[in-house]
Chains A and B, each alone.
Chain A
Amino acid sequence: MPKKRIMKKSILYSLSILALMLAGYSCTQDFLELEPKTGLTEANYYKNEEQALLAVTAVYDAYSVQNWQFAPVMSDIWSDDAFCGGSDATDMAQWQDMEMFKMEPENNSSSDLWSRCYAGIYRANLYLQKQEGVEWVTDGLKERFEGEVKFLRAYFYWDLVRHYGWVPLITEVLPDVEDYKSIPQSTPNEILTFIAGDLLAAVAIVPPDIAATETGRVSKAAVQALMARIYLYHTGMSAYSGMGLTAEQWSDGTTTINKGYVQTALDEIITGLKYSLVPDYADLFDWENQNNSESILEIQYSDKAKSGDWGGWNINGNFSSVWMGVRNPQPSSAGIFPGWSFDIPTWSLADEFEAGDPRKHATLFDAETELTDYNRAYMNTGYFNRKYMALNAYIGSGGDQAHNFPRNHMDIRYADVLLMGAEVWLADNPTKAAGYLNQVRTRSLGAGAAKSTITLDDIYHERRVEFGGEGLRKWDLLRRGETYAEQMINASFEIPSGAANPQHFTNRTYKPDTFGMFPIPASEIRNTNEGVLKQMVPAYQ
């Protein structure tokens, strides 16, 4: 080949190769710009009503998915209604410590509850910021969603204020995570004021009636009932020195939620006739009778999500059911799903029931008589929580069995509205108060058990037997005052003679200066700027 041709040819080759190399590189920009294919990015979301509904759903999720730190169970363990239980004194040390008033800032229950509430607040704040970008087409939908989200945000702050007292008040998503590290704690009064604002906003816009396809969503009665519950707590806790609360002064600055407000709100629910007591108390907790006529606010649990993640903990069934179940129940024909023996009802609760009260059987499962054998674990009393204990008949169709019990948790029910009504009317209209109480009382004990006049003690007795195992007792004890709480709680550790396991019950001494609260999680103090977060509750200082 002539040299020239070769030269030419090689120049040609060289050029084409360089072209190839550059071609290989020039598509780089597109080549490297990948978008996730299994999920939208935050920037592309919150555009339409469907996405808005799912964003609101994520806020509800923070209300329901409680994983380890199921708040009603923890409240009962703290109270005189339940012992911690478990396999031994080292099982769930964070609960054992809670029961013994020995909580430390490193306590996992404390950090988990804190974390869940702020996750809900984040989702709520984010939604409220993003809702303006949604293309709204349905009339009133935006307002309703906003009301639901504000109700839930109020609920998270309510959980925070009653468990920690002094917490940072975060009302919007901040631009930089560093910004959170210098937010100081607000006082309980400031938090409760904020809660009042959200609840007052919600009560004006959420619908009074919820369609059958929307059961589980927030109704006006739920907002009113929660206001009453918080009002009673607020008023009761105003007696505690150091809390900084003043009775009858729960307000958003415009409207004060005082006794009169609550009396009206509760009467409105009662006279509205949208709710009624389930005639037979035993039916109330029938797994086939969920979201019944008595249900005002109920945490929805189902096996449909087939939860089974022991690492990420995204449990959409009622996980508390398996915690409070009987260990190794025999025979299997009894239908009791083997559980872990936590949240053991106390003898003191069992003794509270009047003779013949059918609520005792509906509340307490007596393993000693109803089973041929079972594993008598730590702090065993023989009693288990029949209302929420896992049953073989309701094993989920997928996922992990322990994670998928489709048992709702009844958060606020009509009987509570009646008994709160009785309490707020007790001084102002004793007859009305007795009437409300008798509705609840006679359902279970018959008309003959009706009382003509009632005292606060009567209301407390009725509440205890009516709501046993439902997580309300702790808050009732607290708001009645330090002395009352101390007496009742210490008494629950009086072990009946003949108990098989007295060594499981070391003396428990009530610590009034906890205010029933948890320490601020240690990691939260570490992860914020120095000196920003302080243990304000005297017991943890």
Chain B
Amino acid sequence: MKQDPSCLQKDTLNQFNLNSNPNLKFMKQTIMTLLFIVCSLALNAQGLQIKGVVTSADDGLPVPGVAVSVKGTTTGILTDLNGYYVLNNVPANSTLVFSFVGMITQERTVTQSATIDVIMTSDEELLDEIVVVGYGTQKKSLITGAIAKVEGDDLRKATDMRVTQALQGKTAGVVITSNNGQPGSQISVRIRGTGTNGDAEPLYIIDGLPMSGAGTDYLNAADIESIEILKDAASCAIYGARGANGVVLITTKTGKTDTKMIVTYDGYYGVQNPWKKIPLLNTEEYTMLINEASINGGQGVAFTEADIESYTSDTDWQDEMFYYNAPKQNHSLSFTGGTDKLEYSSSLSYFSQDGIVAEDKSNFQRIGYRLNAIGTFGFFKLGGNMNLANIENKGIATNDRYATGLNQALNMPPIVPVKFSDGTWGTPEAYGIGIQEITNPVAMLSYTNSNTRTNKLIGNIFGEIDFGKFTETLKGLSFRSSFGGEYAMVMWDNYIPLYYLDAMHFTTVDRAQKSNDLYTRWNFENVLTYTRSFDVHNFTIMAGTTAFKDQHENLYGEKADLIFDDFEHSYIDNATDPESANAAGGFQEHTVSSLFGRLNYDLMDRYMITATVRRDGSSRFGDENKYGVFPSASIGWVISRESFMSGLSNAIDMLKIRASWGQNGSENIGDFGYTSVMGNGNIYYYGDSKTQYNGASPTKIANPSLKWETSEQTNFGIDLSTMNSSLMVTFDYYIKTTKDWLVTAPVPMMVGNSAPTINGGSVRNSGIEAEVSYKKQFGDLYFSASINGAFNKNEVLSIENTEQRLQGGDGGFGQSGVLFAEVGTPMGVFYGVKTLGVFQNQGEIDAHVSSTGAKIQPNAVPGDIIFDDYNKDGQISDADRVQIGNPYPDFTGGLNLNAEMYGFDFYMFLYAALGQEIYQATRRYDMNYTNYTADWLDRWTGEGTSNYLPRVTFVDNNINMKTVSDFFIQDGSFIRLRNISFGYTLPAKVTDYVKIDRLRLYVAAENLVTFTKYSGYDPEIGGGVFDNGIDRGIYPQPRTIMTGINITF
């Protein structure tokens, strides 16, 4: 449950049945008494006299302030403090209307003077949120699945480029991790744990159009009405073969009929800074430590006294790479409104963000326009929306040990200046240090020129027929047909200049590169819905079909030796070397065709049952398994509506238990996995002039019986609303088993071709999720808080390859297979040798023996790491690797706090991810001259000096640093103050004067504080299943301080 502080009015309404709230009651009573006195003065003694007491069905207490009016006239009165009313001069045979906000309006026909007592019941319809489910909506109280709803207004408080990122910590069981802090970068979303070894991202449905996570980049947070996250299989089953990893439904704003045009401007401007610098060695410390390492390696000093004296530089490479006070801004202007037949909503937005690393080389800018309009013409509704987006994006390598990025800043020796006094770039090579990929990153950035421009058109049109408007017999029957699509053009330009930096970093010619990608997708769906109530039976039947197609076409070209030497002229036509021309291009497509249906039935709004079934056909499967059927069923019971609960009706407003079961699939397996396509990359050359022949052979062994992954999930949930709906609690338990994930069957190499993809392996995720929210008005203070948390346990049940193991992920250089999975472990955990400290003396080395008495680490000298010979074979090898950490948090949760008073508003949001580990692989241990972090000053230098950091040495015969071990594992838990804001809404009398409805000013901060023990830049490191939680120099999340304004006209 989410609270919307900017709409205080609505909340007050929602809480109107909170009669026991003394503050509210007192306030109301005061007002009502005054009104009663005023009204009483106007009493007139003609016609009938009707009187009585209005009481509440909830608690039997009188309700003051109920409007009692004669229908069709202006005559009326309010009940007094005791719920009593007297209405004189009422015409005979007229109708009295009893109305009160939050309660069901009642009518009584009067024929003679009488006492009419009325019992008002609260209108749960009004209190009930409407939740978007697949192909329809449902009242929250009747939902039987596990669906979390996040209101658009909640998302607007964060200023993330991607609206999905703002979901972090908003709902339990959804773990959202930024892959890095670079503007425009992707995020990883895991709903209820990782269920596959492949693509574990959920399905996104944006206004009905299926999208990938990357496809959400065009959305402007101000345009979002709500985001629903379908977590359990029963809710997702309506998306069949694509719902296995959960579904995120994004609904954008529409206008409202009969409202005046509202114009809103939202804008902010902020500056971003890195929140942490990693302490590194300075020149003095560096030369000392390197000399020590060199001497320990038996190679004498690396830097002589004279060398050291001549080193005048002490470069802080982090400072050189960071872009301090990098700007970030957003401006969004929106219009919404409607007439009786037309509702519309439109917006224009601009967002730009510079990265905090590599000024001018890392940024993101988006201009978006959106129009949504719906017209109603009798029985027919026609509507559509259109989004245009223009995105310009530049990026540098992130979390990469080979390319230019922060990794280089961490590894560059401080003795190297950025530039020498003659203006040439400083390089390690100039100091006789060959450290391969590591070189002056500032220089390398100066040679980096690339830009990605994206233009997107996304939209849909729909028509809806309400048959009930023809005839009463067809009431409740409607048909909706909609067609949506995307057309996205991505253009990438790159210019590689001619330069020579050092022996490993040079080009011999300049080069222009360009690529063009065209993405198209469309989705056509037809849905027939019939909603009807017979007596106490309410049901909705829905049936529909969809057809979906997406295509991707690309073209790449490059050519060398340009007649101009700059990025501005980096066009292939300016390149002159015909030999260098190179082109590539391809095409992919994918189709899905589906039939689906759903039955919702409830008896007296108390006993609910929902059943769905979907049959999907996908082009990604061969004839043997073209189609899959995905069923689900769920039940719910609103206990609080039972008569035996009426005694508790004061204490419990709503109590519901629900259970669901369902099956989903995942067809995220790439195209043509079932067949064998001929590859043409087996090149050989014939002839004196070496003519190239593109030899052909099948790219892999076919598996015609390949099918989707299946996930089966059972969910139990409780929803409770108490303390007059101030406190709401939702609790869920789930158990989700994903099987048939696609693994590449490890066939023997002697088969001679790549292994076929097979369905083999299963994993179980089980966990609990809880969300608690509280909101209340205390006099002038409105306060709300919500907290959510989830525990998830992930366990691999089977891996159907001979090794019964999956492994991947590179740690430090030469450290492969850092992440693994086998039966009984979670999916993708760190896997390495356990360390037992540092050998303090030769005696300890001699005592570290196998059962035969042989030394386990014969090459070790004091100061080297002690490794655990886990398999007791007398040597340290890959066979000694065990689970040494887990990149997935045990617990994730969020805390939202909100307060408003006298026009001031305060908001803060804390996010916590606890129990996960990080593999710290930022230092290039494979190269002797790279810089160290300052904690290495506490390395082992003699007996008793350190039992964690080993000695430094150029010759690592003990393989301290290349062995994948828990030496590199660190606690990655963190709690982060993601957002904090403080705002002030000007009083209406001030804004009225300037003809503004509302004006709010605020200051806000993001990532202001992060509590973590992790030593690297940022503990938030997302990634794929086998590339997760490994830090190779991550691009950190910025700390942003901003100021903004919201204006409504």
Contact = CB atoms under 8 A, between A and B. Distances in A.
Contacts of B479: 13, 17
A327 B242 CA distance: 52
Contacts of B587: 37-38
Contact of B682 (A36, A57, A302): A57
Nearest to A125: B752
Contact of B690 (A41, A53, A217, A304): A304
Interface in A1-27: 3, 6-7, 9-10, 13-14, 17, 20-21, 24-25, 27
A339 to B, nearest CB: 10
A216 B752 contact: no
Contacts of B508: 392, 395, 401
Interface in A317-346: 327-329, 338
Contact of A51 (B696, B748, B959): B696
Nearest to A160: B750
Q: Which residue, A58, A122, A126, A524, has most C-beta atoms of chain B within 10 A?
A: A58
Interface string B745-757: 1111111110110
B547 interface: yes
A301 B684 CA distance: 8
A3 B470 CA distance: 9
B749 A6 contact: no
A115 B747 CA distance: 11
Of listed A20, A24, A32, A173, residue having the most chain B CB within 10 A: A32
B591 A217 contact: no
Q: Which 9 A-B pairs have the closest CB atoms?
A: A122-B752, A57-B695, A58-B695, A58-B682, A61-B682, A58-B697, A60-B684, A338-B503, A115-B749
A523 to B, nearest CB: 7
A397 B687 contact: no
Given A36-B672, A119-B753, A180-B747, A338 B504 contact: yes
B751 A180 contact: yes
23 contacts: A7-B471, A17-B526, A21-B545, A31-B547, A33-B619, A36-B671, A36-B677, A39-B680, A56-B695, A61-B684, A126-B698, A177-B701, A181-B748, A215-B687, A300-B684, A302-B690, A328-B434, A398-B582, A503-B298, A526-B802, A527-B749, A527-B803, A528-B802
B840 interface: no
A494 interface: no
B697 A55 contact: yes
Contacts of B678: 39-42, 45
A329 B586 contact: no
Contacts of B340: none
B593 A527 contact: no
Contacts of A65: 682-683
A328 B686 contact: no
Contacts of B592: 32
Contact of B696 (A57, A90, A177, A523): A57
A215 B688 contact: yes
Given A34-B591, A90-B959, A392-B508, 4 more contacts: A88-B928, A119-B753, A177-B756, A180-B748
A183 to B, nearest CB: 7
Interface string B586-611: 11111111010000000000000000
A61 B699 CA distance: 14
Contacts of A39: 677-680, 699
Nearest to B402: A310
A327 B589 contact: no
Contacts of A314: 681, 683
Contacts of B273: none
A214 interface: yes
Contact of A523 (B593, B675, B749): B749
Interface residues of B, number: 97
A479 B751 CA distance: 31
A32 B618 contact: yes
A293 to B, nearest CB: 12
A264 to B, nearest CB: 30
Contacts of B681: 314
A316 interface: yes
B962 interface: yes
Nearest to A330: B503
Interface in B844-868: none
Interface residues of A, number: 99
Nearest to A10: B470
Given A36-B672, A119-B752, A61 B683 contact: yes
B547 A24 contact: yes
Given A304-B692, A305-B692, A328-B434, A118 B750 contact: yes
B82 to A, nearest CB: 51
B878 interface: yes
B686 A21 contact: no
A40 B94 CA distance: 82
Given A32-B619, A53-B693, A524 B686 contact: no
Contacts of B481: 17, 20
Contacts of A217: 686
Given A177-B756, A398-B582, A31 B688 contact: no
Given A61-B684, A213-B688, A31 B593 contact: yes
B779 interface: no
Nearest to B524: A24
B528 interface: yes
B905 interface: no
Interface in B647-699: 671-672, 675-688, 690-699
A521 B420 CA distance: 51
A163 B801 CA distance: 27
A498 to B, nearest CB: 16
Contacts of A401: 508
A90 B962 contact: yes
B434 A375 contact: yes
A396 to B, nearest CB: 9
Interface string A55-92: 11111111011000000000000000000000111110
A64 B681 CA distance: 13
Q: Which of B429, B503, B545, B927 has the most CB of A within 10 A?
A: B503
Given A31-B593, A395-B508, A38 B586 contact: yes
B687 A54 contact: no
B558 A398 contact: yes
A284 B1016 CA distance: 55
B926 interface: yes
A137 interface: no
A24 B545 contact: yes
Contacts of A301: 685
Contact of A42 (B474, B560, B698, B959): B698
B697 A291 contact: no
Interface string A400-417: 010000100000000000
Contacts of B752: 118-123, 125, 170, 173
Contacts of A62: 682
A111 interface: yes
B524 A398 contact: no
The listed residue with most A CB atoms (<10 A of its CB), out of B502, B577, B681, is: B681
Given A61-B683, A314-B681, A316-B683, A177 B695 contact: no
A60 B695 contact: yes
A369 to B, nearest CB: 20
Contacts of B591: 31-32, 34
Nearest to A104: B877
A216 B684 contact: yes
A118 B690 contact: no
A267 interface: no
A305 B956 CA distance: 39
A327 B526 contact: no
Contact of B544 (A21, A125, A397): A21
A460 to B, nearest CB: 34
A57 B684 contact: yes
A27 B192 CA distance: 36
Nearest to A316: B683
Interface string B455-475: 000000000010100110110
